[in-house]
Structure 1
Amino acid sequence: MKQKELTELSLDELWQLFPIILTAHQDCWAEWYKEEAELLKEQLSYAKRISHIGSTAIKGIWAKPTIDILVEISREEKIIDLKNAVEKCSYICMAENNSRIDFNKGYTLRGFAERVFHLHLCYEGDNDELYFRDYLQANATVAKEYERLKLDLWKQHEHDRNMYTLLKGDFIKQYTQKGKLLFTGRYDNKLSHSSSIQEDNY
């Protein structure tokens, strides 16, 4: 019997194969991001800004060992036309609409690879994740609160990513708004045509 492709697996099968896993912060995550971002910068000439987001970008807290990357493009581009270029970098499309496409890399039929990435392709300015990251980087107490929330939710929803994500939503929204107030205008500048790689604020 022919083995299924990842894209043929049901949501339940995917959640069983790829459970939520949290681990203590690893210093190698920053290097993995930088190496992947350099590759993306070479391959995605239309990228305006490439940034490390998510919990792996926040030093000192437990996280899923998945490197989240935000790739912002000009609003003059048609996002759907750029999907193939990302897929040529060994990414698989997870979800898409007219304003954002999400991809993963490092998911196999045997489970997670050593390095796993989520790439979020969006228009410049659609970057709430940067403000949430920056606020937690600047406020260690809040970062630890976020860690506790995730650890509390982890085993309850190990095989239900939607619920795990949903129950973090209010916390993320609250501190994203605080980040936007604290860092007003930080990412409003028009970027040059050549992409920049966002450094971690460690």
Structure 2
Amino acid sequence: MKKQLPDMTLEELWELFPIFLTNHRECWKDWFEEEESKLTELLPMQKIVRISHIGSTSVNTIYAKPIVDILIEIKPDCNMQKIKELTESNGYICMSESGERVSLNKGYTVDGFAERVFHLHIRCAGDNDELFFRDYLIDNPSVAKEYESLKLKLWKEYEHNRDAYTDNKSDFVKEVTEKARELYSNRYS
């Protein structure tokens, strides 16, 4: 009998779910829109500020992990635990909670990745650096290609260590996000 995901060590999970990058796929936009539609039906929309497609799958000029990242920004008076519970009832698994942030995944199985994989990030409105980063990459193709080059370099080195892969991108992401926040200061007010 196969181990269930909660019983696996971090190293076992990283082996089962390695980092891999692929050319942009047009279907990712459709996957986002279909998942957004499901979330819109599921969640109390009067408490939601915005649902956004973020991450590299939202930038159609660069390689990406085939995982669609979704950011849900909620109003300050919204019960984040209620939103978390509703998303869990729709097949999401909570991966982490810290303060005013909840991260959930969908599409991870004991046999590896499902056809469609999602990372859902629930945050309070305004905690949305990913939107600025995404927009800057879309508006600046040469910077997007720099990011792609960095990811391709890190991919094989950290194929089975998701934390190290992410950590080694963080300085680049932070620098670009700071530029984007300055440039697009009122975009998501």
For the superposition of Structure 1 and Structure 2, which TM-score range results when normalised by the shorter chain? over 0.9
CA-CA distance at 1:47 after TM superposition: 2.3
CA distance in 2, matches of 1:8, 1:72: 31
1:31 aligns with 2:30: yes
Are residue 178 (structure 1) and residue 179 (structure 2) matched? yes
Runs of 4+ in structure 1 off by over 4 angstroms are none
Identity, in percent, stands at: 53
User: TM-score with structure 1 length normalisation?
Assistant: 0.90
State the alpha-carbon separation in 2 of the partners of residues 77 and 50 from structure 1. 15
Deviations 1:70-115 (A, max 9, x none): 0010111232232211101110001012210000000000000110
More helix by share: 2
Give the residue type in structure 2 aligned to 1:80: Q
Structure 2: how far apart are the matches of 1:116 and 1:80?
Answer: 22
Match of 2:141, as an amino acid? A
Give ranges in structure 2 of 5+ residues lacking alignment: none
Give distance in 1, aligned partners of 2:185 and 2:84: 31
Equivalent-residue separation in structure 2 for 1:111 and 1:145 (angstroms): 30
Correspondence for 1:117: 118
1:138 is aligned to: 139
Task: Name the counterpart of 2:129.
Answer: 128
- Say which SS state the counterpart of residue 118 (structure 1) adopts: strand
The 8 Å contact of residues 41 and 47 in structure 1, kept in 2 or not, is answered as no
CA RMSD of aligned residues (A): 0.9
For residues 1-202 of structure 1, what are the structure 2 equivalents within 5 Å? 2-45=1-44, 46-188=47-189
**3-state SS of the aligned residue for 2:157?**
coil
Structure ranking higher on relative contact order (CA contacts 8 Å, 6+ apart): 1
User: What secondary structure sits across from 1:65 in the alignment?
Assistant: coil
In the other structure, the counterpart of 1:199 is: none
1:135 and 1:121 mapped to 2: Cα distance? 22
> Contact (CA 8 Å) 1:20, 1:159: kept in 2 or not?
yes
Aligned equivalents of 2:112, 2:24: Cα separation in 1: 21
3-state secondary structure, aligned to 1:48: strand
> In structure 1, what is the Cα distance between the partners aligned to 2:2 and 2:61?
40
What is the CA distance between 1:58 and its match in structure 2? Answer: 0.3
Tell me, in whole angstroms, the C-alpha distance in 2 between the residues paired with 1:65 and 1:184: 30
Aligned residues: 187
